[in-house]
Structure 1
Amino acid sequence: MSAQELITEHLDLWTGAVSKKSSSGRGSNGKVELTGVKKLRELILELAVRGKLVEQDPAEEPARALLERVRAEKLRLVKQGEIKKPRKLPGLSELTIPFPLPENWEWAQLEDVGRDWSQKTPSSDFSYIDVASVDNLRGVTTQASILSADEAPSRARKVVHRGTLIYSTVRPYLQNIAVVEREIEPEPIASTAFAILYPLSGMPARFFLHYLRSPVFVKYVESVQTGIAYPAINDKQFFSGVVPIPPLEEQHRIVQKVDELMALCDRLEQQTSDQLEAHKTLVDTLLGTLTQSENATELADNWARLAAHFDTLFTTEQSIDKLKQAILRLAFMGLLSSPSRPDPCEAVILDEATSYRSKSGNTAGEHSRLSRFNEDEVPFDIPERWQWVKLGQLFEITSSKRVHARDYVSAGVPFYRSKEIGELQAGRSISTDLFISKERYEELSKQSGFPTEGDLMLTSVGTIGNTWIADGRAFYYKDGNITKISKTPRFEMRLLQHFIKSPVFRQAATSTVSGTAYNALTIVKLKNIPVPLIPLREQELILKKVDELMVLCDQLKERLNQASATRCQLAEAIVEQGLSA
């Protein structure tokens, strides 16, 4: 199968392989990465640098003769004092050769193929090229900053000209690589963070740009870079890198073909992104009709319309997450339940909850610290049998006593922070690395804020809204980071857990968080968040229905994730097939 067929016959796979994105960058659509198109780009570059993308012409001058001309030109430049003698680098060996090459191609080192333009300290106005001047998507330089000599940073030293390739040796995984494709005035000077390469004997700089972006060179860089937070390579490591050299005419054909296919990838990427955006809008619109339903009959009609397109709508992890949010909103609008017989009125529940909190040692005057409940604070209409109240009217909401660093011990009772609550919520094994002594734990058990089985632990700083219901294990928790919502005999704590995950709570919490460096939901603000007070029997019905629907959503998400993983594996297999052909 030809390279062209390998690419064009699997377009559905390239555009359909999508995975969850962990970071921002090219090929993103919110939290989605277009894995298939990313793999297609890698395949194109791999085929190009292995001589499998365009046809070879045996009549063309071999790369060996081209390299001899480059070598002669460099010797002449050294004699004329225009460049320094070549660096002393480890030579080529069988161990450094990544793969076999076609006839008429040769392996070389980057040091062998070009020159730099030396360094200078700016003495007049100049165009400063730093990382911000690089468009790493298109591989070109953008508008450089024009600085005076007095404004010159200490790193502004490397001279560049039109046709020069610049490669950022700091955080190379960002692939800040570009070709200076136009004349720049005043004189351009680049940062010392770049390695500078001007290919000689008419070799196109974009051929080397494509090679430096290819997986084979990326792998080499990862093998020699140092540093963790800011990995980097030095110029010697860069110029020691091996590079395949085709005949000159073939280099130009490769550049033309790669640019053509990368433009195709851009179109596929845009098309897929547009489809994902249209899909998102459709999901939001149809789910919006559900949550705008005013009664069970209208909900049933809206659901019927949505169900007719279920297979089309819920095809991504993000769309299923939105379905979950819609379910939770419907639950707390009272549209997922209709009690079959009367239940004690809400006032009784509120009285019993308040009485229970008083017996639990809640301080007097609690209600005086709760702001008045205004009508404009009501998020939406709820059934007449329900009542909007504030969390502080239903629950005792407290934090822990301060635990100092001097209280930590190497082993003992686990001390939880937001990280551990997040792990417990996800059902993962917790990686506790802080403990307090059993004696200190016993002291704290006699004070307010001590956690007991059934209490809900809520992360209130940074990532707000992770929850875990204490299961009887011994633990203590960090004040400020975690808030404790004490259980009551008349409110299902797992239903409260669902409420905290609902858009109703999220919207209220987002509008009340404070802090600029990080988000923080204070206890006072938490107590004033509105929550629907629901008859207990109806709470049980809602909880059962929500649990059932969440299980179905999770099962659907798992099937979609498996299908997505399969598509990504197929894309990877096609790449390997193309390289081994």
Structure 2
Amino acid sequence: MLLSNLDLLATAPGGVAHLRETILTLAVQGKLVPQDPVDEPTSVLLQEIRTEKDRLIAEGKIKQDKSLVEISDEEKPFGLPVGWEWVRALDVCALITDGDHQPPPKADMGVPFLVIGDVRTGFVALEGASRFVPESYFEGLDWGKKPCLGDVLYTTVGSFGIPIPVVQQQRFCFQRHIALFRPAVIELQSYLATALQTKLAFDQAERGATGIAQKTVPLSVLRNLLLPLPPLAEQSRIVTRVEELMRLCDALEAKGRLEAAQHAQLVSTLLGTLTASVTPEELADNWQRVAQHFDLLLDRPEAVDALEQTLLQLAVRGLLVHQDPADEPASALLARIRTEKDRLIAEGKIKRDKPLPPVTDEEKPFELPVGWEWTRMGTVVNGSEAGWSPTCIGSPRRPGHWGVLKVSAVSWGEFDATANKELPLDLAPKPEYEVRDGDFLLSRANTAELVARSVVVTTAEPRLMLSDKVIRLDVSSQMNRVFLNMVNNASHAREHYAMRASGTSSSMKNVSREVVLALPVPLPPFVEQSRIVTCVTALRRLCADLRQRLKAAQATQSHLAQALVESSNAL
């Protein structure tokens, strides 16, 4: 039943990961391949293991193992097929140890010394090793510290729970954050590595892990891991089948990545025809062609996001609503904005602004409709201010306490009042920085993608203040601030900020207020701004509704896939 529903599992969110987990679970439950009555039972294998361990003890290679706690019926999570046995990991291993606890001597070359980063992919990567130890140090290591063909390494710190089979004889050693399982019988390696990948093994390791910031799995926990052990012949069949199914999972993941890339290319191409339109009439024609593919185009949330960004681009270019020749032109609007500024300067409410240069032809990313004008952000705002940067405590603030905004409060298109940190009681709040209804807020520092994103605050919560990384723009009363917010978040603004952002980090960037105020702004007549805002608001509601429907559909698909997984596990 599982394999007959691969399409459902593979396309559900996290479906292939669930499929891998289910394959491993079925494998160690004895449900992946049929049992063969002629197989030598596991009890015989355990006798062979005991004989080999006794030999190694006699040779002084390992110590007499301490008695492990007997496995009670209450510990066994499920029943096993006839011929199988429940064992603890040390029952089937000659030893379970870890790397040298003393910092090894360093060398420019010699024997590779592996750290977790070298094995996180599940393979021994000697060619990528960045650390080495001298030959003399390696030769002085105990037998159990030198990995051999047939061993299984296992990460125990941070990204713990990754088994790494040693599939060829190579000279290397490893840090103490890596454990080593050495099966008493080399033929056990493949099945042991498979069993260590299961949720059954991981959950035990997680329960026994110590530490808070960085979890560490003690060797005592690993030695006591409870594992189901099939006959040796069946182990081979299980491993072969698991490898086949994991290759199928690899193919499904590759197919999914290819389909996602092809879909993204299709979305980019089709939406690109819309943004290439230069007149409303051409846009209408292109829209009709794109609309024929909407069922294919808008079947993923990221495609809806791309459509919404395209609508924003079209809006600020004047292509979403028709122009009305009776509208007062933008040149008259600029004159009114200038008059308002001069009055506020005369009243001492704002300082005289520095003259901004006209927008050059090189800075204009597109042509404007008749009646529009290119201007700059600084022309249509009366000033800007940043908040402060006090040392804050818990996030978010407690009810009734003052808080300071994080940049994430203005990063995602809607004002998020919960993104704040609490101001300590010994610091006096600064009411002049309190967020107000209608504020136009912009993040001066953020990730490269989100820097200078802005929002208009519809309803402000009391006792929230600006941080030094969030600036408030005093938008002219002659402007529609929601339209200006659309301009600031459109693609040409994103490019303006990306080209001028600074910062030593590859991800975190900063923009100065001068860069913000220099943003080229396509300015329509005031009444057209309102028509554009009304149109975009309605279209964004449709996008939000479509996004919600897709989310619900994905949730349903995920629930179906999970139910299928659970039913397979219960067989």
Same fold, judged at TM 0.5 (above): yes
Q: Which shifted more, 485-494 or 60-69?
A: 485-494
Structure 1 unmatched ranges of 5 or more: 19-34
Corresponding residue SS for 2:127: coil
Equivalent residue for 1:6?
Answer: 2
Equivalent residue for 2:119?
Answer: 134
Paired letter, 2:226: V
Paired residues of 2:150 and 2:186 also in contact (CA < 8 A): no
Equivalent residue for 1:31?
Answer: none
Compared with structure 1, are the counterparts of its residues 74 and 43 closer, same or farther at alpha carbon in structure 2 (3 Å cutoff)? Answer: same
- % identity of equivalent residues: 28
Corresponding residue SS for 1:108: strand
Which of residues 97, 100, 103 in structure 1 aligns to 2:79? Answer: 100
Equivalent residue for 1:570?
Answer: 560
Deviation at 1:430, TM superposition (A): 1.8
Tell me the TM-score normalized by structure 2. 0.88
Equivalent residue for 1:15?
Answer: 10
Q: Does 1:356 align with 2:340?
A: yes
Corresponding residue SS for 1:389: strand
Compared with structure 1, are the counterparts of its residues 437 and 11 closer, same or farther at alpha carbon in structure 2 (3 Å cutoff)? Answer: closer
Equivalent residue for 1:37?
Answer: 16
Q: Does 1:382 align with 2:368?
A: yes
Equivalent residue for 2:248?
Answer: 264
RMSD: 3.0
Compared with structure 1, are the counterparts of its residues 499 and 229 closer, same or farther at alpha carbon in structure 2 (3 Å cutoff)? Answer: farther
Paired letter, 2:299: T
Task: Return the alpha-carbon distance in structure 2 between the equivalents of residues 62 and 330 of structure 1.
Answer: 72
Compared with structure 1, are the counterparts of its residues 543 and 406 closer, same or farther at alpha carbon in structure 2 (3 Å cutoff)? Answer: closer
Q: Does 1:509 align with 2:497?
A: yes
Q: Does 1:391 align with 2:405?
A: no
Equivalent residue for 2:148?
Answer: 161
Deviation at 1:191, TM superposition (A): 1.8
Tell me how many residue pairs correspond in the alignment: 549
Paired residues of 2:150 and 2:187 also in contact (CA < 8 A): no
Q: Does 1:414 align with 2:418?
A: no
Q: Does 1:553 align with 2:537?
A: no
Equivalent residue for 2:165?
Answer: 179
Corresponding residue SS for 1:107: strand
Deviation at 1:439, TM superposition (A): 11
Paired letter, 1:159: K
Task: Return the alpha-carbon distance in structure 1 between the equivalents of residues 310 and 316 of structure 2.
Answer: 10
Task: Return the alpha-carbon distance in structure 2 between the equivalents of residues 189 and 403 of structure 1.
Answer: 48
Task: Return the alpha-carbon distance in structure 1 between the equivalents of residues 59 and 427 of structure 2.
Answer: 81
Paired letter, 1:10: N
Q: Which shifted more, 42-51 or 231-240?
A: 231-240
Deviation at 1:510, TM superposition (A): 1.6
Deviations 1:249-296 (A, max 9, x none): 000111111001101111111111111111110100110010010111
Equivalent residue for 1:493?
Answer: 481
Paired letter, 2:477: P
Paired residues of 1:166 and 1:177 also in contact (CA < 8 A): yes
Residues 186-335 of structure 1 correspond to what in structure 2 (within 5 A)?
187-335=171-319
Corresponding residue SS for 2:367: coil
Q: Which shifted more, 213-222 or 52-61?
A: 213-222
Paired letter, 2:111: F
Which of residues 37, 46, 54 in structure 1 aligns to 2:33? Answer: 54
Equivalent residue for 2:320?
Answer: 336
Compared with structure 1, are the counterparts of its residues 88 and 440 closer, same or farther at alpha carbon in structure 2 (3 Å cutoff)? Answer: same
Corresponding residue SS for 1:381: coil
Paired letter, 2:54: L
Equivalent residue for 2:520?
Answer: 530
Paired residues of 2:454 and 2:485 also in contact (CA < 8 A): no
Paired residues of 1:329 and 1:502 also in contact (CA < 8 A): yes
Paired letter, 1:537: V
Deviations 1:516-561 (A, max 9, x none): 2321122111001111111111111111110111111111111111
Task: Return the alpha-carbon distance in structure 2 between the equivalents of residues 151 and 466 of structure 1.
Answer: 61
Paired residues of 1:490 and 1:536 also in contact (CA < 8 A): yes
Q: Which shifted more, 68-77 or 124-133?
A: 124-133
Paired letter, 2:16: V
Deviation at 1:36, TM superposition (A): 1.3
Paired residues of 1:425 and 1:467 also in contact (CA < 8 A): yes
Task: Return the alpha-carbon distance in structure 2 between the equivalents of residues 83 and 563 of structure 1.
Answer: 57
Equivalent residue for 1:24?
Answer: none
Deviation at 1:248, TM superposition (A): 0.2
Deviations 1:287-312 (A, max 9, x none): 00100101112111111111111001
Deviation at 1:314, TM superposition (A): 0.9
Paired residues of 2:435 and 2:461 also in contact (CA < 8 A): no
Paired residues of 1:107 and 1:244 also in contact (CA < 8 A): yes
Deviation at 1:365, TM superposition (A): 4.3
Q: Which shifted more, 52-61 or 224-233?
A: 224-233
Q: Does 1:74 align with 2:74?
A: no
Paired letter, 2:230: P
Tell me the TM-score normalized by structure 1. 0.87
Equivalent residue for 1:480?
Answer: 468
Task: Return the alpha-carbon distance in structure 1 between the equivalents of residues 412 and 114 of structure 2.
Answer: 48
Deviation at 1:12, TM superposition (A): 1.6
Deviation at 1:466, TM superposition (A): 4.7
Paired residues of 1:339 and 1:537 also in contact (CA < 8 A): no
Deviation at 1:89, TM superposition (A): 4.3
